[in-house]
Amino acid sequence: MKKLLQLDPFPDAVICINDYTAFGAIRALKETNLKLPEEVGIITFDNFPLAPYMTPSLTSIDIDTFMLGKRAGEIIMERIKGNKIHKQESISPGIILRDSTAREKIKG
Cis, peptide link before residue 52, omega less than 30° from 0: no
Using the predicted structure, report yes or no on whether residue 104 has a pLDDT greater than 80.
Answer: no
Q: Which residues contact 102 (CB under 8 A, 6 or more apart)?
A: 37, 41, 56
Over its C-alpha atoms, the chain yields an Rg (Å, rounded) of 18
Q: Which residues contact 53 (CB under 8 A, 6 or more apart)?
A: none
Q: Residue 39: helix, strand or coil by DSSP?
A: coil
pLDDT confidence band for 74 (50 / 70 / 90): very high
Which residue ranges form the domains of the chain, and what is each CATH number? 2-63+94-107 (3.40.50.2300)
pLDDT confidence band for 24 (50 / 70 / 90): very high
Using the predicted structure, report yes or no on whether residue 108 has a pLDDT greater than 80.
Answer: no
pLDDT confidence band for 107 (50 / 70 / 90): low
pLDDT confidence band for 105 (50 / 70 / 90): low
